[in-house]
Amino acid sequence: MIENEEYGYCSLIKATNNVLEKMKIENVTRAKVTSTKRIEKNLVEPLPLREALINAIVHNDFSKEIPPVFEIFSDRIVLTSYGGLIPGQSKKDFFSCISMPRNRELMRVFKDLGLVEQLGSGMSRILNSYDKDIFEISEHFIKVIFPLAEENKKINFENGDENRVLNLIKENPYMTAKQMSIDLEISTRKISRIVKQLKEAGKIERIGSDRKGYWKIINKEITG
C-alpha cells in the first residue's frame, strides 16, 4: 500500500511525483511472443492510471486530513480518494468529462506545473481505455479499480522473471534485491517474491547473513 506518509513530511507536489514514479516502476511491461508477433503490454494502461492517480489527489477532500490511498494487489491496482462526489454533482456529471474541481487552487497549481493538462480531459482519457465499472462511488469515497491485464498474470511471465533473476545471481552472487530491481525494472516487492519462490523451489540458497552473504545457485540449468 502506498500512502503520502511513505514519503515523510514533504509537499503535496513532491509526494505526487514520488507516487507517480513508484507507480511507473510497479506498472511493468511484459512481452508475449506469439508465432507471428511480439506483444508488449503494461499491467495497467499507463495514461489512464496516471490521470486517475492525479484526479484522486486533486479532488481529495483534505479537510478531514484523510489522504488518498494507492494499493497494489496481485490482480488489481486500487486508487481511493476521500470525499465522494462534490455537493450538487451527480454520477452523470462525474462521467461527463466536464471539469468540476473540488480544490480549485490545487488544480490551478497542478496545471501550472504540467501535472494536469486540459481541464476535464483526465476522465475522457480513462474512459477511452476502461469502462465506467472500474469506478466505485460511495458517500465518502471514490475508488478506481484497475484490473491487471490477463496476459501479465500468466505463469510463463513469472517463469521468465525467475530466469532473469537467476541470470543476475549467476553473474553476481552478491547482487541485492535493490540492485536486481533496478537492473530488471521490477519492483523490490516482486523481486522478494521471486527470490522466495526460487528458495522454496530449491533453486538458490543463501550463504551467510542477509547483509554480508551471497547467493548460491543449486540448479545450474538457466535459460535466458
| Residue 90 burial by Cβ neighbours in a 10 Å radius (0-12, 13-18, 19+) | exposed
Domain ranges, ordered by start, for the chain: 2-151, 154-217
pLDDT tens, 183-203?
A: 888 888 888 888 888 888 888
Question: What pLDDT sits at residue 9?
Answer: 61
pLDDT-flagged residues of the chain (< 50): 1-8, 151-157, 220-224
Question: What pLDDT sits at residue 80?
Answer: 96
Question: What pLDDT sits at residue 151?
Answer: 47
Question: What pLDDT sits at residue 158?
Answer: 54
- Edge-to-edge order in the sheet of strand 69-72: 2-3, 69-72, 76-82, 141-147, 135-137
Question: What pLDDT sits at residue 221?
Answer: 44
Domain 2-151 class in CATH? alpha beta
Grouping H, G, I as helix, E, B as strand and the rest as coil, residue 224 is coil
Question: What pLDDT sits at residue 181?
Answer: 86
- At 85, the amino acid letter reads L
- Answer whether 2's CB lies under 8 Å from 19's CB: yes
Same topology between domain 2-151 and domain 154-217: no
Question: What pLDDT sits at residue 144?
Answer: 96
What's the CATH number for 154-217? 1.10.10.10
pLDDT tens, 57-66?
A: 999 999 988 9
